[in-house]
Each structure stands twice: as structure tokens, then as C-alpha cells.
Structure 1
Amino acid sequence: MIPAAFAQSTIDREGEAGAAWLAELPGIIEDLLSQWHCVADGPVMHGQVGVILPVRSSAGPAVLKVSFPHPGNVHEADAFTAWEGRGAVLLYERDDERFAMLLERAQPSTLWEVGDGDQIVAVAGRLSCRLSVAAPAELPRLADQADSWEDELRQGAADFPGVLPDAVLDAALAVVDELGRDQPDLLVHGDFHPRNILRGEREPWLAVDPKGYVGDPAYDGGTLLKPRALALIEAEDLMKALRHELDVFAEAAELDRERVRRWAHLHVVQAAFHGRRRGFGRARGGAYLDRILGLVDQLAVSWC
């Protein structure tokens, strides 16, 4: 029932705790199918931290999602509850103790697969605008991470001296101080990128896999632009192409362009240090990691 690749990656990442959870996972799934009166309707799929089983339920086609207990997944169901299907998949049932949800089934194709950059960022922008609703009081605040962001930036500069010019680091620290410490009380997806936007039946596009934060929607714009940079890496003028996509996104999202740019700058400076410590999901070492780090450094300077 559990895909081998998912099992191995969970053990590699979580160790004994991951192995113990995997041993319990088939029983958890069977219990939830019975509890929510569902019937399996396809093979088990998976993301990075959870499995997704297509099911038939009284609500119609749905998916059963069970995630490894992780702090990043605690408020996923809260975000879906607040959105009530407005721009995101509907939440039918939740079992917070077992990090499980019964969700509306979307199509497997993602916004990433569209190919047209303008369409990708325009769709994402319109969706971001719809998702920016008043946040439930119990959600964690992005502003509470500002001190740790500052500490990580300063530690990164100390650990990797000379990687980025001082002015680039100073600009990122200014984003933390000027945007990060006082943010709106709006719901922020927290992991807003094209692969977390699926084609739907009820609506053309639906968001999935939110972290669920309270903060500035422009933060999500910065998250979106990171993978877009990699998609445009072969562009004749990368920064011209990215600035154009920034303009399209900001207009569609009804956000201040400069605010989105500044969040994007913070994201790439963080990525420059993070990538040197741990690599990235698509490259842990070697020439490809070096190429990505070169791109990230370029963006950090150019967005400044």
C-alpha cells in the first residue's frame, strides 16, 4: 500500500520515528476509511511528507491524505476550514491527532505544467488574492519568525563570508525589520508555488498543501517567484523575464509590486545560505547544485 520511494525518503529524513509511523500507516488508513465511510478508488500517491489515497465518499470523489506528524502540517486543516473551498480544495473531514484529512479530489495536473509563464503567474496572482482572507486567531504568525530570520541571516553571513555583498545582506535584514515584524492579519498559504496549485472540477484551479500562517500575502509572491527563476534559467535576459512575471503577478494579486520584490529578495538570500548548508531538494551536491547556487546568488544581487 505504501510507495517504496516514499517509505525510504521518510526513513532517511525522520529515522526511527519515521519507520515507526510507516509501520502504523496502513492501519491508520484502514481505520480512516471505515470511520469516514470511504472506499479506495485508486493507488496510493505521495508528496514529500504524506500519502494521498483517492477514495469514493458520500461527498463524491475525494482523497484521503495522511501526513507524518510534523510542525509544518499542524495548521493545514485550519487553512482549508477558513477558505471554505474559495480557491482551495474543500475539507470534508479532519483527524488532527493522526494528521489526516478527507479532501475534495482535484486533477493531478498542476499549474507548473501549463508552460506559459504569464499564465502561471497570472493564475497564481488571482488565486492569491482570493486566498487572502481574514486569518483564524489560532494560526501562527509569520511576524513571530522575524527574530529567527534575522539570526539565520547573520549566521549565514558569518558562516559563508564574502558569498554575498554586504549591501545585499543589509537589504534582506531591512525586509525583516520593515516588513517582517508588523504584518496584516491575513491568511497566508506559506508554500505557494505552481506545483501546489491543481486543476479542479468545481473551480479551474485549487490550492493544496498550505502551511497556514497569519501575515503578508506578498510573502507568498516571493515564494512563488523562486521556482519561476529556475524555470527561466535559460532565458536570454533572466532578470528582465522575472521582473515581467513579478509585474504580472502583482497586478493579478492586487499587491504592491515593490513589496513582493522585497519579499522575493529575502527568500533568495535565505536560499543562498540554506543551499550551501543542506543543498536543495533537486540537488544535494555536484555541478547542478553549484549552478543553482550561482543562480540564487545572481538573484540575491539583482533583486536588491
Structure 2
Amino acid sequence: MIPEAFAQITVQREGAAGEAWLAELPGIVEGLLDQWSLQRDGDVLHGQVGVVVPVEGDAVLKVSFPHPGNVHEPDAFEAWGGRGAVKLYERDDARYAMLLERVHASTLAAHGGAAAAIAGDVLRQLTVPAPDGLPRMSDKADEWCEELLKDAAELDHPLPAVVVDQAVAVVDELCRVQPETLVHGDFHARNILRADREPWLVVDPKGYVGDPGFDAAIFLRTRAYYLFIDDGLVGAELLRSLQAELDEFAAASGVDADHIRRWTQLIAVQASFWGRRHGYGRARSGSELDELVRLIDQVAIHWTT
């Protein structure tokens, strides 16, 4: 019922609370299968925060760890109504559970050069008015400013002052007042999956009220990683490819290219400092982390004007 890898990452991240939830998880799943009259139809899968149980009828039962970051996922799916995202059939908020449309395991991360245009078209479909009750990204502005200035002062880094100053300016100019739009919040290529009803559909939204430019920037930040790791691009070649993908994404999504660039500059500076303090999911220390931090530094500097 519980994949060993999922149990390990849950306990590492959540400690005793994770262990307690994992002990209850088989009973939670069985109760939901009974509640919604479902029959299992395949092996249990998992992501970072939840298990996915395939069930008959081309659907999956998803149960997530009860964390504030997972609260508004079903709200986002309801607002989209299947437009650019998997359909939501049932929800049990008390148990952080949903019955969702089934999609394939293949993600956009493996799709190569056309990924930016595909993702931009998906984001265009997701750009809808936000429902009531979602957290606002604009509420993060003060925290982001404080963190940028604190990190710039405390960390040993090569970013020129103008790069940090421009990131702070982006917070002041773009983050404090944002449109009443539903934002995915974790819009990267591994959360865009192959589907039958549409070519590509998103999963795992966080659900915010905010600026679609943020989602675009998160996508491009992760694309820089894939261009480096998968395609071996570095230096000027990587930056040229990333610029081309930004332009393709902007054309497909309808979001202004310079607007996306400014958001991406901010996200890159934040990621540079985060990596120095915490590492990244796939590189906590060592030479790989050093290379990734240098890559993010290059992006932050390149898109500073």
C-alpha cells in the first residue's frame, strides 16, 4: 500500500507527524475506496507529498499529507473544470483526498525543445479568475523583500548589487499588486503530463491568487536545470536557448515576454540564495550543487537590465 521511497521521504520531511500519518494511510485509502465505491486498478504510485491509487473508470485516488500547502489543490481543480488540468470528480477535504481524472506517467520534462510552447499554451488555458478563499501571492511581498536583503547581506555570493536591487524592485513593482487570477504555484514540466482527453494536462497545483508571470518564471527556472542536466548546455549557449524558450512561452501563453523576464530574474535571485542556504532537492551539497548555483547566478545576472 505504501511505497518504501514515499515512506522514507515523508518521514525525512515531516518526522514523527509523517510516521503517524503513514500508519493511518492504509486505513484512509481503504475508507475512501469504500466511500466512493471504487475498485483498485493498478499499483500504488506516489509523488513528493501524496500517494496515487489507480482505480477502475480511468481515475485515480490521490491522498496527500495534511499540510497547509495542500489545502487548495481541489479548489484550483474545481475552478479550472478540466480546462488545461485533470478533472476533479470527488473531494474529501478532511482527509486531503481527491478522485481525479487519470493521466499518463510521461511528463513534459522529456519532450525537449517544444516544451516551452506546449507549456505556454497550457498556461493560457489555466489563466482564469481565481475563486474566493485562496491565499494571495501579494501577501508574500514583504517577506520576499526581507529575505532578499537578509540573504544578500549574510551569504557569500558573486551577485552584483544591481542584480539584488532589481529583484527587490520586481517585488515592489509586480508583487504587491497582482491580478485576480488563479495561479498554479508549482508550474514546471514534471507537473504537466500526457493525457487522453487533451494532449497535456497539469497536476499538483498549490492554488494562489496572483500573476501568471510567476508560473511562467517557475517553468523557466526549471527549464534552465533541464537544459543544463539533460542537454549539457552551459554559458552563453544555455542563456540563448533559455531566451528562445522564454519568447516561445510568451507567444503561446499571451503573457508579455519582458514581464516574464522580470519575474524570472526575481525567481533566479531567490533560487540562488536558497541553494546557498539549503541546497536543492537533487543536490544538497558538493560539486553538483556548486554548478547549479553558478547556473542560476548566470540566469539572474543575464536577465538584469
Name the TM-score class by shorter chain. Answer: over 0.9
2:136 maps to 1:141:
yes
CA distance in 2 between partners of 1:128 and 1:84 (Å): 14
Kindly provide the amino acid, as one letter, of the partner of residue 273 in structure 1.
F
- Does the residue aligned with 1:40 lie in a helix, a strand or coil? coil
Alignment of 1:8-157 (within 5 A): 8-56=8-56, 60-115=57-112, 117=113, 119-157=114-152
Displacement of 1:240:
1.0
Aligned length: 299
What percentage of residue pairs aligned between the two structures are identical? 60
2:205 maps to 1:210:
yes
CA distance in 2 between partners of 1:152 and 1:201 (Å): 43
CA distance in 2 between partners of 1:162 and 1:39 (Å): 54
Displacement of 1:246:
0.3
Partner of residue 155, structure 2: 160
Partner of residue 184, structure 1: 179
Displacement of 1:22:
0.2
Displacement of 1:161:
4.4
2:259 maps to 1:262:
no
Coordinate RMSD, CA, aligned:
0.9
CA distance in 2 between partners of 1:163 and 1:40 (Å): 53
CA distance in 2 between partners of 1:111 and 1:179 (Å): 28
Q: TM-score, normalised by structure 1?
A: 0.97
Displacement of 1:61:
1.1
- Does the residue aligned with 1:149 lie in a helix, a strand or coil? helix
CA distance in 1 between partners of 2:60 and 2:150 (Å): 42
Q: Can you list the C-alpha shifts for 1:114-166, whole angstroms capped at 9, x where unaligned?
A: 12x2x101010011011000100211111011111111111111221443110
CA distance in 2 between partners of 1:282 and 1:220 (Å): 21
Q: Can you list the C-alpha shifts for 1:165-213, whole angstroms capped at 9, x where unaligned?
A: 1000000000000000011001111100111001111111101000011
**Judging changes above 3 Å, is the alpha-carbon distance between structure 1 residues 4 and 162 closer, same or farther for their aligned structure 2 residues?**
closer
Kindly provide the amino acid, as one letter, of the partner of residue 191 in structure 1.
D
Displacement of 1:85:
0.3
Q: TM-score, normalised by structure 2?
A: 0.96
- Does the residue aligned with 1:145 lie in a helix, a strand or coil? helix
- Does the residue aligned with 2:58 lie in a helix, a strand or coil? strand
Structure 2: runs of 5 or more not aligned = none
Structure 1: runs of 5 or more not aligned = none
Alignment of 1:284-303 (within 5 A): 284-303=284-303
CA distance in 2 between partners of 1:302 and 1:37 (Å): 54
CA distance in 2 between partners of 1:168 and 1:97 (Å): 44
Partner of residue 242, structure 1: 242
CA distance in 2 between partners of 1:42 and 1:138 (Å): 35
Q: Can you list the C-alpha shifts for 1:30-62, whole angstroms capped at 9, x where unaligned?
A: 000000110111111110111101011xxx210
- Does the residue aligned with 1:66 lie in a helix, a strand or coil? strand
Q: Can you list the C-alpha shifts for 1:86-107, whole angstroms capped at 9, x where unaligned?
A: 1100000001111110000011
- Give runs of ≥4 in structure 1 deviating > 3 Å: none
CA distance in 1 between partners of 2:156 and 2:289 (Å): 19
CA distance in 1 between partners of 2:265 and 2:216 (Å): 11
